[in-house]
């Protein structure tokens, strides 16, 4: 332990993925937010019942788990199975299982964490280095390929898994392993160590949160060091250019998220963490500025980010092709990470708006209803129906159209799993004397305000199928507190009823600031009638098209719903308003036919289908 | 020499790149077509004066030529400079210089061929194998990576270089080297040899033409064998899928050109060669069908092919983004190769139409006016101005926007060079008793018809700047012959005058079939006034946009010509007809501004600029 190390104490509970040192809003933990039903509870249940085991069995089958055993036994070699980042999938699964155990106390989830830890821990070297692809038995030396080796990336995910364990169960062997790994990274890459960075950001966000969770300031400092080193061209140039891994321009000087989308977003999440904890307002403002630019000009209607398959990257401003949209599922997860951190730092509603859009239309789109197949890319237009899923095969491709059981590069399933297992984190936040509801789901939300008073509400809703959200006060102090309800930016004409009074509330936060009475109810009605959305005229790819949204859901047309079985000739008549039907809508084609639209997140669930979000309009 | 080998005699002259065994049309050689001025003569002169030397000096500087020296001296090793296909650049340059010598008798071009041959020849192994990347001094063994090793691809280009030498100068050391290499390939990959194919087609088209040029049927048979083996999944699967190298479906069963565009087109060119020479009408019909499908649905207005950067490949039908169009220069060259072979086989005008479109808008677009920098990709929309050219650097990227002096993968400069040096091949063709003019340029065209009569014409024109083409008969037999003049598909309202008579001639061939009198003149007037072109409604990427063409030239708007310096706000009023100005046109914006358009092939010649071919229209 170095002289400058500060240890402020272990944050051993709370179940919160992100706990900044300061900020406009305080995140709530699992004990404070219990989701009791609805859309997301269903996805969480499937995640718990199917996806976790599905991921573990594929990683066992492919030898990604056995890679740890072979390092431990000294039997590994240069020809190990899996990419250099396969270790991270094991860590992400451990993280998911840890959150799941925290959420439900399901002993099966706890057993999975222990089982994975028992495979991981013996592979750690005496000095804390832990990697199954480098540095053992004829493999390339440690840190010999910072550009593509993913060593620190893997470690970052190990630290995030340990954070989940720390914040749900408390310190255990996984946390000990992570601590040794983090110390190794600090020793190796510290101020006097290798002046390098990892080609794939992730260690930064892992170190920052692990430092927060353990109260070890040195880890946050190391994250800052990595961030400061970035953008100075220390990584080798690659055909895609150094923007691919954000080593072209220092973080605080960039104007937009750029290059590989997941890399850019993990890096930005870490930058917010460091900015907040180390009071670097300039850095925070830089990321907020980049977010604004990116969300205006480089983000799809679904919240998806990444326009290019070529480098899994952001394209240029307004380069948003529907058909070749990459919109990697992991970029959706990473976007939520960035927006959540910016929300906590600033309390600004636009971040929560984008989180909702991305959760419903990217994260929820990836897993098939049974939780055993996943979209990797999430295009907004599929010209030809994909093939069926081969349940027994690894997909070598990240194309859209068909959810695959597993991928050669299989980052998305475990990323979905850890996000769903910790989904309740995004439901609400608290301020000094206020509670803010951000995402609407049936839930009991109870927190202790800063002054020690307890405020508890029960939420009932069929959102997003229905726009009515009822909030019943369960417990409240006698003095005035603020209950703040997010009104999404699309929800013009929302109405809030309390007692006999009803008022229109505009997008932003609808606030009730007075003493609340246990038993009293508020009713927020968000207009979820289908609505037409026209694109910015600068988006060339969808000029002359219109989309239909319903509440937070982007809708789409599927060829399986058309009598012709084809979307090639579809032109809609936008003068006829779309009409709600089931959980989607119906629009009128210029031929007079009624065209059913379904939620985008459920497309290709009824077999291979062509699909369009943006519909050519007369 | 095997029992089945047929040797029909060396075709030692004529200067024709492609000489099929049969076909509807007979190609004319350099001695029969002398281009005397105009657009293409200018490009040919720059190619001769600047590009050939430019390519040689870069390959010397980068060690691609020295790779041959080191194999010859036994000093090579696994760490040689350049990609596995760098040998092919040397062969393509030798081919270009050989055609150039045939075209002009310039001793400098002949000296270049000899100089390159003197480097190449000593690197050949005793058994005919010739490759600087495999099989020597610690390199991977021969043919150990058929998927990506490019060994047979390199050899194919060697054979094409030898064809150029054979058909201009006659047999020499380069031809001897190629012959030994071809014999080696037949021995190694013959009916009883390795049952493999090369991941990049090219050996097929090389073997077919080398076999034709030498009269060695065995080489054509080996090309057939490679074609027959393809599409059966003998190559390892890759993330892009086996369609990437056309190993997914047998050649004759495919419905469209697909996968990597240059691979698909080189393969298709060879398929036509084999189909023609071995009287395989089913195969010929298959390629013609694939061409029709591809040109209708997978080809840009410029003639460019390849919609995706990711795999340098064709996308799906109607997937034709303007901004991310790849349209590799080499795919334009390869498309001309395929269309020329189909034209010779069938005599159908649509192939010559596409050749013209592609030559003016892809091939001519690549080289900068000074012949020392090149576009690799040819998008139809550049959102942000590219950087300037660094004349002293190798571009690692194939992005559009800036012509580069050289590339890490530098296939395009030498491909442009060999195409320009042999450009006159595409000007005209002959039939039994007819002469057909296909591309209009100032030229003397003289050929001996099948019955021994000489027919000669002199063409004068300022095409494409002006649409008037004057054809003066210089020599003709006393009996009737047919003079056929291609009327491009865009040239509605073309007029042909002979003597005092004038008649409108529709797209296709305008035919004069009567005895011709030396001294008489024909005047063909093609309407080259600017015209609006609307896209097929199924091309999502350019819905609501219009393009402007002028004769064979696609025009574009450049930001440097706009007062605002930006194309972001440009919307044109298509109710105002475009007006010719200089070599481009002027269109009216909805703001009332006049927007100048320039030929696409000259864009970015006046410094970095944003650019659009497809203009948003009110």
Whole-number Å distance between alpha carbons of B496 and B494: 7
- The mean predicted confidence, pLDDT, of chain A is 95
- In 3D space, the residue among B484, B490, B617 whose CA is nearest the CA of residue B552 turns out to be B490
List pLDDT tens digits, range A422-461: 999 999 999 989 999 999 999 999 999 888 899 999 999 9
| Weakest mean pLDDT among A82-86, A474-478, B1-5 | B1-5
Contact B136, B87 (CB under 8 A): no
Taking one residue from A and the other from B, the number of pairs with CB-CB distance under 8 angstroms is 79
Residue A12 has pLDDT above 60, yes or no: no
Q: B397 to chain A, minimum CA–CA distance in Å?
A: 6
Nearest CB neighbour to A322, from listed B324, B381, B540: B540
- With CA atoms as reference, the chain B residue closest to A315 would be B324
- With CA atoms as reference, the chain B residue closest to A397 would be B239
- The mean predicted confidence, pLDDT, of chain B is 95
Contact A515, A453 (CB under 8 A): no
| Interchain pair A543, B616: CB under 8 A | yes
pLDDT band at B394 (very low <50, low <70, confident <90, very high): confident
Give φ, ψ of B597 to 5 degrees. Answer: -120, 145
Tokens 């199917």 identify what position? Answer: A50
- With CA atoms as reference, the chain A residue closest to B396 would be A239
Both tokens of residue A97? 């299982």
- With CA atoms as reference, the chain B residue closest to A238 would be B396
- With CA atoms as reference, the chain A residue closest to B319 would be A323
List pLDDT tens digits, range B39-92: 999 999 999 999 999 999 999 999 999 999 999 999 999 999 999 999 999 999
| Interchain pair B317, A383: CB under 8 A | yes
Which helix (H) or strand (E) segment holds residue A115: the answer is helix A107-120
pLDDT band at B483 (very low <50, low <70, confident <90, very high): very high
B225: left (phi over 0), alpha (psi -120 to 50) or beta: alpha
Residue B6 pLDDT:
39
Burial class (CB in 10 A: 0-12, 13-18, 19+), A10: middle
Residue A11 has pLDDT above 70, yes or no: no
Nearest CB neighbour to B541, from listed A237, A321, A537: A321
Residues of B with CB below 8 A from A310's CB? 308-310
- With CA atoms as reference, the chain B residue closest to A541 would be B541
| Interchain pair A543, B544: CB under 8 A | yes
Residues of B with CB below 8 A from A256's CB? none
Nearest CB neighbour to B538, from listed A321, A543, A568: A568
Name the maximum alpha-carbon separation found in chain A: 76
Q: A536 to chain B, minimum CA–CA distance in Å?
A: 12
Handedness of CA A445, A330, A373, A86 (dihedral sign): negative
B425: which DSSP letter? G
Residues of A with CB below 8 A from B322's CB? 540
Whole-number Å distance between alpha carbons of A403 and A393: 12
Tokens 């020849």 identify what position? Answer: B121
Name the maximum alpha-carbon separation found in chain B: 76
Residue B196 pLDDT:
97
| Interchain pair B384, A316: CB under 8 A | yes
CA distances from residue B85 to A84, B133, B144, B561 in whole angstroms, order as listed: 28, 8, 15, 40
H-only helix segments in B216-280: 217-229, 261-277
List pLDDT tens digits, range B556-611: 999 999 988 999 999 999 999 999 998 899 999 999 999 999 999 999 999 899 99
Residue A285: how many other CB atoms lie within 10 Å = 13
Whole-number Å distance between alpha carbons of B522 and B502: 10
Residue B212 pLDDT:
96
Provide mean pLDDT across the span B290-296.
98
| Interchain pair A397, B239: CB under 8 A | yes
List pLDDT tens digits, range B199-217: 999 999 999 999 999 999 9
Both tokens of residue B467? 């649409």
Whole-number Å distance between alpha carbons of B42 and B370: 11
| Interchain pair A238, B396: CB under 8 A | yes
Residues of B with CB below 8 A from A319's CB? 323-324, 383
- With CA atoms as reference, the chain B residue closest to A614 would be B540
- In 3D space, the residue among B573, B494, B471 whose CA is nearest the CA of residue B532 turns out to be B573
Provide mean pLDDT across the span B288-300.
98
Give the global pTM.
0.93
| Interchain pair B537, A318: CB under 8 A | no
Tokens 């599927």 identify what position? Answer: A558
Q: A13 to chain B, minimum CA–CA distance in Å?
A: 43
Preferred mutation among A396, A543, A591 to probe B, highest tally of B CBs within 10 A? A543
Enumerate residues 6+ apart whose C-beta is below 8 A from B111. none
| Interchain pair B323, A408: CB under 8 A | no
3-state secondary structure (DSSP) of residue B285: helix
Q: What is the DSSP string of B62-102?
A: TTTTHHHHHHHHT---TT-SS-TTHHHHHHHHHHHHHHHHH
Residue B4 has pLDDT above 50, yes or no: no
Strand B394-395 to B406-407 pairing: parallel
Contact B364, B596 (CB under 8 A): no
pLDDT band at A495 (very low <50, low <70, confident <90, very high): very high
Q: How far is CA A597 from the centre of its chain?
A: 26
Preferred mutation among B147, B318, B534, B543 to probe A, highest tally of A CBs within 10 A? B543
Residues of B with CB below 8 A from A239's CB? 396-397, 408
Residues of A with CB below 8 A from B543's CB? 543-545, 616
Residue B20 has pLDDT above 90, yes or no: yes
Residue B18 has pLDDT above 60, yes or no: yes
Nearest CB neighbour to B324, from listed A321, A384, A542: A321
All structural domains of chain B, each given as residue ranges with its CATH number in brackets, are: 38-426 (1.50.10), 441-525 (2.60.40), 530-616 (no CATH)
Handedness of CA A63, A65, A69, A70 (dihedral sign): positive
List pLDDT tens digits, range B266-290: 999 999 999 999 999 999 999 999 9
Residue A388 pLDDT:
72
Whole-number Å distance between alpha carbons of B130 and B157: 12
Residue A554: how many other CB atoms lie within 10 Å = 26
Tokens 């006393």 identify what position? Answer: B478
Residues of A with CB below 8 A from B321's CB? 321, 324, 541
Residues of B with CB below 8 A from A324's CB? 308, 315, 319, 321, 324
Residue B397 pLDDT:
75
Provide mean pLDDT across the span A32-48.
97
Nearest CB neighbour to B323, from listed A319, A322, A545: A319
Residues of B with CB below 8 A from A241's CB? 396-397
Residue B3 pLDDT:
36
Which helix (H) or strand (E) segment holds residue A380: the answer is none
Using a CB–CB cut-off of 8 Å, the residues of A that contact B are 237-241, 308-310, 315-319, 321-324, 381, 383-384, 396-397, 408, 537-538, 540-545, 568, 614, 616
ipTM of the complex: 0.89
Half-sphere exposure of B552 (CA within 13 A, CB side): 29
- With CA atoms as reference, the chain B residue closest to A326 would be B310
Whole-number Å distance between alpha carbons of A343 and A361: 20
Residue A6 pLDDT:
40
Whole-number Å distance between alpha carbons of A211 and B465: 70
| Interchain pair B383, A317: CB under 8 A | yes
| Interchain pair A383, B309: CB under 8 A | no
pLDDT band at B432 (very low <50, low <70, confident <90, very high): confident
Residue A4 pLDDT:
40
CA dihedral (A179, A185, A191, A197) in degrees, to 10, reads -140
Contact A424, A33 (CB under 8 A): yes
Residue B390 pLDDT:
75
Residue B389 pLDDT:
72
Q: How far is CA A513 from the centre of its chain?
A: 32
Q: What percent of chain B has pLDDT over 70?
A: 98
Residue B1 pLDDT:
34
Which helix (H) or strand (E) segment holds residue A303: the answer is none
Residues of A with CB below 8 A from B238's CB? 396
Whole-number Å distance between alpha carbons of A151 and B267: 42
């Amino acid at each position: 332990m170095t002289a400058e190390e500060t240890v402020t104490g272990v944050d051993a509970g709370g179940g919160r993925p992100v706990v900044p040192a300061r900020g406009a809003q305080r995140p709530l933990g699992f004990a404070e937010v219990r989701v009791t039903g609805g859309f997301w509870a269903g996805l969480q249940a499937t995640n718990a019942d199917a996806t976790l085991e599905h991921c573990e069995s594929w990683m066992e089958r492919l030898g990604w788990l056995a890679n740890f055993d072979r390092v431990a036994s000294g039997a590994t070699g240069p020809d190990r199975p899996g990419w250099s980042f396969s270790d991270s999938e094991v860590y992400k699964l451990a993280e998911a299982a840890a959150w799941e155990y925290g959420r439900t106390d399901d002993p099966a989830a706890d057993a999975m964490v222990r089982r994975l830890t028992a495979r991981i821990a013996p592979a750690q070297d005496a000095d804390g280095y832990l990697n199954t692809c480098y540095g053992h038995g004829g493999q390339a030396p440690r840190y010999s390929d910072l550009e593509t080796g993913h060593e620190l990336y893997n470690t970052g995910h190990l630290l995030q898994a340990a954070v989940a364990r720390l914040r749900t169960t408390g310190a255990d062997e996984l946390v000990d392993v992570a601590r040794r790994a983090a110390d190794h990274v600090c020793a190796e890459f510290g101020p006097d160590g290798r002046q390098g960075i990892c080609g794939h950001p992730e260690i930064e966000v892992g170190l920052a949160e692990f430092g927060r969770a353990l109260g070890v300031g040195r880890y946050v400092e190391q994250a800052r060091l990595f961030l400061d080193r970035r953008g100075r061209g220390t990584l080798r140039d690659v055909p895609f250019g150094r923007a691919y891994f954000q080593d072209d321009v220092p973080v605080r000087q960039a104007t937009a998220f750029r290059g590989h989308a997941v890399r850019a977003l993990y890096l930005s999440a870490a930058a917010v963490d460091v900015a907040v904890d180390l009071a670097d307002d300039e850095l925070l403002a830089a990321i907020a500025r980049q977010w604004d630019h990116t969300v205006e000009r480089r983000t799809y209607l679904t919240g998806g980010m990444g326009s290019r398959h070529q480098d899994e990257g952001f394209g240029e401003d307004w380069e948003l092709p529907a058909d070749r949209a990459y919109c990697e599922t992991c970029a959706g997860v990473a976007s939520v990470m960035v927006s959540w951190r910016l929300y906590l730092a600033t309390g600004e509603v636009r971040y929560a708006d984008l989180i909702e859009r991305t959760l419903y239309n990217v994260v929820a789109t990836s897993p098939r209803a049974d939780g055993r197949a996943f979209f990797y890319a999430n295009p907004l237009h599929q010209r030809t129906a994909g093939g069926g899923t081969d349940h027994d095969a690894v997909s070598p491709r990240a194309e859209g159209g068909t959810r695959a059981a597993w991928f050669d590069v299989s980052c998305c399933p475990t990323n979905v799993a850890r996000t769903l297992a910790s989904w309740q984190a995004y439901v609400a936040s608290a301020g000094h004397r206020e509670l803010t509801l951000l995402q609407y789901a049936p839930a009991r939300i109870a927190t202790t305000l800063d002054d020690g008073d307890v405020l508890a509400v029960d939420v009932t809703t069929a959102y997003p199928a229905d726009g009515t959200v009822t909030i019943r006060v369960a417990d409240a102090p006698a003095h005035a507190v603020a209950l703040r309800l997010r009104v999404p930016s699309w929800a013009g004409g929302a109405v809030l009823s309390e007692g006999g009074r009803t008022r229109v509330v505009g997008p932003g936060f609808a606030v009730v600031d007075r003493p609340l009475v246990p038993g009293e109810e508020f009713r927020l009605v968000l207009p979820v009638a289908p609505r037409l959305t026209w694109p910015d005229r600068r988006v060339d790819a969808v000029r002359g098209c219109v989309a239909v949204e319903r509440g937070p859901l982007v809708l789409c047309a599927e060829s399986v719903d058309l009598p012709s079985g084809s979307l090639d000739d579809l032109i809609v008549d936008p003068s006829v308003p779309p009409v709600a039907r089931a959980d989607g809508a119906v629009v009128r084609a210029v031929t007079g036919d009624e065209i059913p639209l379904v939620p985008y997140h459920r497309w290709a669930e009824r077999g291979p289908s062509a699909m369009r979000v943006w519909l050519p309009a007369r």
